[in-house]
A and B are shown apart, each in its own frame.
Chain A
């Protein structure tokens, strides 16, 4: 037994949920078999139960372990009780598969899902004994790389990450490993040498090869390449045909309960509904569907290999899958007799979706969630959420008829141009839903009590969306709006839940930040910030202290309206959707004009499709319009 495994086994009896750290899950890899292979550690900077629930990392893990001469192992953020013991015992951060110190890997890849995990990344580097800042690393350290949605504004983390991989990772990660093998055989290798090689790969961004300039007043001006190999604009990678793409049918099964404790069957990537606040709606374009035949095959294989009794059809808006009804029918035909349930994680606001939910949950009726996002038609038009009040009321009527009595309504507050009338609209909408229940379900047929939950999150202007120029409302304003709703959404049938405004502010600052935010994150981590997305762990005062130590005002980043003429810190990162389209969408929103889904209508010119290799694979609707 290695010294690290021995230490680990001494520590485990003293920590909460020790199974988070034992590895060995069904269908997990056994870890490094030979010295010669490239070792890559895949890291999710959150606790095990969250990290193991992520599909993207499972895809890369399976894909990399298939590659000859490659070993991929996993690592998650140790919970603070474990961290304390590790530091006490001198146990460095290790991989779950072989208890190998992370420092001994060739490449350490982080997935960037959420800005509030960034301090965990710094903490994990520190626990590994890897210098936190890129510039301090030497040949004895792994290359620290990152990808995922929040990497589309890489600048706030640019001081810590050697290079970013933008877009679908399936193809580009293999190209990176090919280059690594070449470089590794060189006689006189340098870190710089490898970075020079990868900088030329499309979709790769090496931040140390660029420099940002600011005006004397501290305004961001531009980010420019310092080397010839570094492209002025880095464009996102897209896997065109998901049918050909790897899917982890050897589905890994954890020993302990995780957040999404089921098979996640990815029906398609991308969504073209065009909600103007939604970053995922831009980052994953175009829509690329897997065929029903492919999905059935993947699904049945994953069920056989895992022994799971739940399959979730997960995509950005799963009920948008062409022929979703038919697919569900065919999946259920096979799975129901075996006691395996099929689930839809999110529902569109229409009666079609309620019918789908009905076929899926014949016996047990848990709650349904719908997201009208805004309280009035005016505001829904501005955000391009093409749902009417009538749609919602018809939908809940269907749901009540079908026997549901617990409904959650999801809204955003602080959306551009929001007024108190729009908040009042949320209240009225919720009350109309209650009224609908009374009208629809006769008293004698009411099984259980009606429960309508209104849940709000705070609008965060996200890079690469039509609303990226919009301000976030101030914290005082968030609190006032929440108080407004709290007071009005009272009653036995209504309840209200909300997000902490502090977390939303920090999220907004980081997501619209430039390179200067790196130092803020660094200082916040030094002061002890970690697990910031856990509201009981978020230390807001330390973050504020960190901003002031860096001489930066968080509100300048989060709460300022940016002119569309101004340079943006992420202008050198191209998602494939043009800035021109984003500006047009922004302008249309201000005029209250909606933009239809390109699947239902003609092309809206977002720029993602080149109509040759890369195009929307959204099923039959598109074939008639392209």
Chain B
């Protein structure tokens, strides 16, 4: 049977990577004695996949995981047994059975909603920042540069942005914005990449930044 799990990742566990999270779930399923199906004979891999990798440092309240079990079990029981084996910071909120012929979570992913909070050195002017956001969005092309160990890649972020909303805060050194970004097999842009761009364009100095994924939207 194929099960879909909705879970959140909070607190210190935002500092573990996507690969670490996969291991965490594999071991938790094994501790819970939930029989996960495997594929591949040479070095068998559990049939387990995520809707989207959450970047290191982000918290989330809307992650999805899909797992195939070799045994039919009531989703409620699976949820309870798994929850008992998960560390503080990972919480399973929902478990439901999905038809096994349904395409993978990853291919059905459409967009994601993020909440970004940051503190600034200079007092933060929400109106100025909002204008800066609007200005960016008016363009047809805004290029960011991604540097990895081996290559430098340019990316136009505009097609990925569905909406950016600058939110009011009660602290003059704090800014907050909600971003709705396209996500899925066609690639994605990280909200912190957009924040970095805005920081540079407005010659702001950001001290701390917190990124939280509020939701993933799946077809």
**A-B Cβ contacts below 8 A, count:** 60
Cα(A255)–Cα(B42), bound, Å: 26
Q: Which of B20, B31, B43, B88 contacts A305 (CB 8 A)?
A: B31
Bound form: Cα–Cα A71–B75 in Å: 38
Name the residue on A nearest B208 (C-beta).
A10
Contact with B along A1-24 (1 / 0, CB 8 A): 000000001101100001100111
Pairwise interchain contact A363-B43, C-beta atoms closer than 8 A: yes
Contacts of B76 in A (CB 8 A): none
Contact A255 B57 (CB under 8 A): no
Q: How far is the CA of A439 from the CA of B89 in the complex (A)?
A: 58
For A256, what are the chain B residues with a Cβ–Cβ distance below 8 Å? 16-17, 20
Q: Which residues of A contact B209 (CB under 8 A)?
A: 13
Report yes or no: A13 in contact with B57, Cβ–Cβ below 8 A. yes
Binding stretch for chain B, among A158-166, A306-314, A469-477, A528-536: A306-314
* CB-nearest residue of chain B to A18: B15
Question: B27: which of A12, A253, A257 is its contact (CB, 8 Å)?
Answer: A253
Which A residues are CB-close (under 8 A) to B85? Answer: 307
Contact across chains for A304 and B31 when beta carbons are under 8 A apart: yes
Name the contact of B30 in the complex, choosing from A13, A24, A309, A363 (C-beta under 8 A).
A309
Kindly identify, within residues 67 to 110 of chain B, every residue whose CB is under 8 Å from any CB belonging to chain A: 85, 87-89
Asked whether any CB of chain B lies closer than 8 Å to the CB of A364, the reply is yes
The smallest beta-carbon distance between B55 and chain A, in angstroms, is 11
Q: How far is the CB of B167 from chain A (nearest CB, A)?
A: 21
Q: B14-32 interface mask toward A, CB cutoff 8 Å, 1 = contact, 0 = none? A: 0111001001101111110
- Expressed in whole angstroms, the minimum distance between the Cβ of B25 and any Cβ of chain A is 10
Determine the chain B residues whose CB is within 8 A of the CB of A352 once the complex forms. Answer: none
Are B31 and A306 in contact, with the CB atoms below 8 A?
yes
**Chain A residues, CB < 8 A from B208:** 10, 13
- Complex Cα spacing A245 to B77, Å: 37
Q: Are B20 and A306 in contact (CB under 8 A)?
A: no
Q: A19-B20, A339-B38, A364-B42 are in contact. Are A307 and B28 (CB under 8 A)?
A: yes
Task: Specify the chain B residue showing the minimal Cβ separation from A8.
Answer: B12
Q: Is the CB of A255 within 8 A of B24?
A: yes
Who on chain B is nearest to A9 by CB? B12
Given contacts A18-B15, A307-B26, A307-B31, is CB(A26)–CB(B43) below 8 Å?
no
In the bound complex, what is the Cα–Cα distance between A363 and B38 (angstroms)?
16
Partner of A12, one of B15, B29, B89: B15
A3, B24: Cα distance in complex, Å: 29
Expressed in whole angstroms, the Cα–Cα distance for A307 and B26 within the complex equals 8
Write the nearest CB–CB distance from B74 to chain A, whole angstroms. Answer: 22
B interface residues, how many (CB within 8 angstroms): 27
Proximity bits, B43-58, A CB within 8 Å = 1, else 0: 1100000000000110
Residues of chain A lying within 8 A (CB to CB) of residue B31: 304-307
**Bound: A485/B59 CA distance, A:** 53
* Bound CA span A68–B85, Å: 26
* Distance A305 CA – B208 CA, assembled complex (angstroms): 38
Counting chain B CB atoms within 10 Å of each CB, which of A13, A26, A307, A363 scores highest? A307
Which of A12, A26, A255 has its CB near the most chain B CB atoms (within 10 A)? Answer: A255
Chain A minimum-CB-distance residue to B211: A13
CB contacts (< 8 Å) of B28 on chain A: these are 307
CB atoms of B27 and A307 under 8 A apart? yes
**Separation of A309 and B29 alpha carbons in the complex (Å):** 12
Cα–Cα distance between A19 and B9 once the two chains are bound (Å):
14
B residues less than 8 Å from A309 (CB atoms): 26, 30
Interface residues in A304-326 (C-beta closer than 8 Å to B): 304-309
Residues B88 and A255 in contact, CB atoms below 8 Å apart: no
Which one of B15, B30, B44 lies within 8 Å of A19 (CB-CB)? Answer: B15
Q: Which residues of B contact A26 (CB under 8 A)?
A: 27, 87
Residue-wise, chain A 287-305 has the 8 Å CB interface mask toward B (1 for contact) of: 0000000000000000011
Cα distance A243–B20 in the bound complex, in angstroms: 35
A22-B12 contact given A306-B27, A307-B31, CB 8 Å threshold:
yes
Select which of A18, A24, A257 is within 8 A of B88 by beta carbon.
Answer: A24
- Are A24 and B89 in contact (CB-based, < 8 A)? yes
| 0/1 string, A473-501, CB within 8 A of B gives 1 | 00000000000000000000000000000
Residues from chain A with a CB closer than 8 A to the CB of B57 are: 13, 18
Q: How far is the CA of A413 from the CA of B7 in the complex (A)?
A: 55
A339, B44: Cβ atoms closer than 8 Å: yes
With A and B bound together, what is the CA distance between A18 and B31 in angstroms? 26
Residue of B nearest to A22 (CB): B12
- What's the nearest-Cβ distance from chain B to residue A491, in Å? 30
- A88 nearest CB across to chain B (Å): 14
Alpha-carbon distance between A429 and B42 when the two chains are bound, in angstroms = 33
Q: A293 CA to B65 CA in the complex, in Å?
A: 39
Report chain A residues within 8 Å CB of B56.
Answer: 18
Alpha-carbon distance between A503 and B43 when the two chains are bound, in angstroms: 38
Could you list some 28 contacts between A and B, CB below 8 A? A13-B57, A18-B15, A19-B15, A19-B16, A22-B12, A22-B13, A24-B88, A25-B87, A253-B27, A255-B13, A255-B23, A255-B24, A256-B16, A256-B17, A256-B20, A257-B20, A257-B23, A304-B31, A305-B31, A306-B31, A307-B28, A307-B31, A309-B30, A339-B38, A339-B44, A363-B41, A364-B42, A364-B43
Extra 12 A-B pairs, beta carbons < 8 Å, given A24-B13, A24-B89? A9-B12, A13-B209, A19-B16, A19-B17, A24-B12, A24-B87, A25-B87, A255-B20, A255-B24, A256-B20, A306-B31, A364-B42
Residues of chain B touching chain A, judged by Cβ–Cβ distance below 8 Å, are: 12-13, 15-17, 20, 23-24, 26-31, 38, 41-44, 56-57, 85, 87-89, 208-209
Binding site for B on A (CB under 8 A): 9-10, 12-13, 18-19, 22-26, 253, 255-257, 304-309, 338-339, 363-364
Closest 8 CB pairs of A and B: A307-B27, A307-B30, A307-B31, A18-B15, A22-B12, A255-B16, A19-B16, A19-B15
